[in-house]
Homo-oligomer: A and B are copies of this chain.
Amino acid sequence: MSVALSHAQQLSEIRSRILNLLLNDGDLVDTLLGRPLKESPADAKAHQEQAEEIAQYIPLLHAADLADLLEALPEEERLALWQLIGTDRRGRVLIEASESVWESLIEEMSDRDLLRAIEPLDIDEQVHLAKYLPRDLTGRLLTSLEPSLRSRVLEVMDFDRDRVGRIMDFNLITVRADITLGTVQRFLRRRKVIPDGTDKIFITDKNNMLLGEVTLTDILLNTPTMRVFDVMNARPTTFLINDKAEDAAGAFERYNLISAAVIDIKGKLMGRITVEEIVDLVNEESDSNIRKMGGVNPDEDVFAPVRKAVRTRWTWLAVNLCTAFVASRVIGLFEDTISQLVALATLMPIVAGIGGNTGNQTITMIVRALALHQVEPGNFSFLIGRELGVALINGLCWGGIMGGVTWAMYGNPELGGVMMLAMVLNLLLAALMGVLIPLIMTKLKRDPAVGSSVLITALTDTGGFFIFLGLATIFLLH
């Protein structure tokens, strides 16, 4: 046995090997996709062997590894690998893959294969995939469920993606309160399987109302003759089906939960959330926040072909072009001033750039504080005051330096003074807007991470040009 070489590392070597085989040889991909090739028998044999090598690795890999591999491949290579994955495993692989690649993979499958692929999945996972399925498949899926489960599923399907109802699973174990722990243990043994991520079982009454929870540890540690209600936690942390998934993630982190019950408003047990879902959620959130800040659509697939990428990115480019155009028109107003003193054209990007930098720093801090629920009406004025204070000090310091440099370079003390004053004012504008923009977006129930950065840069550019050229027009033209 080789525990010394960690298992995770072996798997990662296999992943690299498959990736390199597929990426370095287009002919291998064609072979896998069953396309006729004109090649020497020796080449054909080599490709056959490589295909077999990959096929051998596949059973060794976890569905999540296969999903990662699919995501790391361009479209052709992705389909070639997909051919090698059996229908029985495809459902699980889809669930583990990110939604950006679902479309390209599902497109290739017949309805029958699709239905066979998702059959082994848990109900919550089937529901998760359902919206990417052709309409009639979703119907067939729902009719196959028993009525009580179907009604719960239908209730959950209507929820938005950001609600607890959409990340909960239906796989849980419930017992009554008046049985002994010994009976519970016999019941579990008869049941033979316990769903993954089970650290506790739930206690309900005959109407399925949640009464409490008992951890597996409680069952193991207490004497078998004790009754469930003696050891159960009657005030468990629970979530409402309509709670925000993000808040549930916060509670999992805060209270170190492994699983928790989800109830409806009347207290009826609907399902549970497990930490697995939370880890996935936190990773997705982090990923999508970073993409939002970079102005990339959260659904963009890095290996999608050019035409798709052009389509997903054009919105931000168009917005950016419009704001740049507005800033440019502001400069246009002062063409007369610039023609009298060309140095202004040289210096103006410094004023605009430093404002954008400060504005983005402030926005990053405020968006974060908002996400952590740290901003309350009470500390709002403290925040504004603090950011303005920082901006003033930085403006005086760096503005002073740049003013001095300008004076020295152009031998024009008034130009230096205008430079300094413009930098101070633009930094103050940046700080003020950096606090206000995310707060206003939150008030308007919009995600403050989306577009804040574009908006602040637009404001500090336009504002910077206006302030600097305006001051120059007032003080420098005689």
Q: Chain A interface (Cβ within 8 Å of chain B)? A: 1, 3-4, 6-9, 12, 15-16, 19-20, 22-24, 62, 64-65, 68, 71-74, 96, 185, 188-189, 192, 194, 196-199, 210-211, 216-217, 219-223, 234-240, 243, 247-248, 251-256, 258, 263, 265-267, 275-276, 278-280, 282-283, 285-287, 289-291, 293-296, 300, 302-303, 305-306, 309-310, 313-314, 316-318, 320-321, 323-325, 327-329, 331-332, 335, 338-339, 342-350, 352-354, 357-358, 360-361, 363-369, 372-379, 382-383, 386, 389-390, 393-394, 398, 401-402, 405, 453, 461, 465
Contacts and interface: CB of A to CB of B under 8 A. Distances in A.
Given A65-B254, A256-B196, A275-B275, A294 B364 contact: yes
Nearest to A3: B267
7 contacts: A16-B376, A23-B376, A96-B254, A219-B220, A290-B290, A290-B364, A302-B369
Nearest to A341: B339
A294 B361 CA distance: 5
Contacts of A316: 357, 361
A237 B8 contact: yes
Contacts of A265: 4
B220 A377 contact: no
A254 B62 contact: yes
A364 B296 contact: yes
B255 A258 contact: no
A226 to B, nearest CB: 12
A465 to B, nearest CB: 8
B365 A296 contact: yes
A317 B287 contact: no
Contact of A354 (B1, B236, B324, B367): B324
A206 to B, nearest CB: 16
Given A306-B393, A360-B295, A240 B6 contact: yes
Nearest to A330: B346
Given A23-B379, A368-B302, A398-B321, A8 B289 contact: no
A212 to B, nearest CB: 8
Contacts of A296: 361, 364-365
Contacts of A402: 321, 325
Contacts of A220: 185, 188-189, 194, 216, 219-220
Given A23-B379, A275-B258, A379-B73, A253 B267 contact: no
